[in-house]
Amino acid sequence: MFLIFIAGLLWGTIGIFVKELNSLGADSALTCFIRMLFAFLIMSSAALAKHGKKFFAIDSKTLLLCAGLGLVSQGFFNICYTASIKLNGMGMACVLMYSAPVFTAIASRIFFHEKISKLKIFALALNILGCVLTITGGNIFNNSQISLLGMLAGIGTGFCYGMAAIFGTAAGEKTDALTMSAYSYLFATIFLFMLNNPGFENLDAKILGVGFLYGLLPTSLAYMVYYIGLTKVRDTSRVPVIASIEPIAAVLLGMLIYNEQLRATNFIGVAVVFLSIVIMMKAK
């Protein structure tokens, strides 16, 4: 569980890299693409260094699971999240993304036959409430024009995020985190290039430098730690709740680095998220 927690902390730095890339002139399509491209280059190099030619000896079932991980939890996730932000704003998009634990719990019950106890359900509900308060400070409906398409995109984001634990757990049975990550990023890179057609006219050394760090820290390193953590977790349904340390890290970094103002309700949300994690850890 500690590794999942660390992964969540690393994901909490995503906003820093996105803001920096935006300030350098990279649009959302280019930002998503270079993140996946650098992650693929980093992880495939590491996998080749560790395994040599065995890196290419991956069975068809595991390759299919890695493809699902890359296409759904990386490719479609980025597309849905971008659309959700554009149509309903960052706050609503983040809140809907954290419907992920519900999807993971349901899928874990279906595919891994995990028990969903009343205490787990309570922890899930508490976690979603905590994330809402942490991210929005209670002002979730500050935009009176709520787009239905944006809501569907946001729920799609939660589904794609929630499926990462399912695909990762299944693929991790026959391969290691390096190989799984490398192949999933390969599929995600190809998918985003074909679908988003990122423009390279603004590409320069600064964007490449920040893009490399973006692909290294909250992507390659974060997901490698996450996938290793998945192999040590007894119940997959616990994973997104533990990883929900991400919005806490993001909000606190926003306060420290960008002087973003927080309300008392934001800090109440932080406390509720931590409480939900403790309860989920104890739930059976």
Give the pLDDT score at 146.
Answer: 73
**27: part of which helix (H) or strand (E)?**
none
Find tokens 């998918």 and name the residue: 191
Query: Residue for token digits 């390969």?
Result: 186
pLDDT reading at 255 higher than 60: yes
- Note the pTM of the prediction, 2 decimals: 0.90
Digit-coded pLDDT (tens) for 20-62: 998 999 888 899 999 999 999 999 999 999 999 999 999 999 9
Tens digit of each residue's pLDDT (9 = 90 or more) over 157-204: 999 999 999 999 999 888 999 999 999 999 999 999 998 888 888 899
Q: Return d(Cα 201, Cα 272) in angstroms, integer.
A: 45
What integer pLDDT is reported at residue 140 of this predicted model? 63
Structure tokens at 7: 């992964």
| Burial of 232 from C-beta contacts in 10 A (0-12 / 13-18 / 19+) | exposed
pLDDT reported for residue 188: 96
Q: Which range, 148-152, 196-200, 269-273, has the best average confidence (pLDDT)?
A: 269-273
Cα gap 44→38, rounded to integer Å: 10
Per-residue model confidence (pLDDT) at position 235: 86
How many CB atoms are closer than 10 A to CB 272?
19
**Cβ atoms of residues 7 and 241 within 8 Å:** no
Question: Distance between CA atoms of 116 and 101, rounded to whole angstroms?
Answer: 12
pLDDT band of 145, cuts 50, 70, 90:
low
Within 172-263, residue ranges assigned H as helices are: 177-196, 205-215, 222-230, 239-243, 245-258
pLDDT (tens digit, 9 = 90+) per residue, 59-118? 999 999 999 999 999 999 988 988 888 888 777 788 888 899 999 999 999 999 998 899
Q: Rounded to an integer, what distance in angstroms lies between the CA atom of residue 147 and that of residue 154? A: 10
pLDDT value for 41 = 97
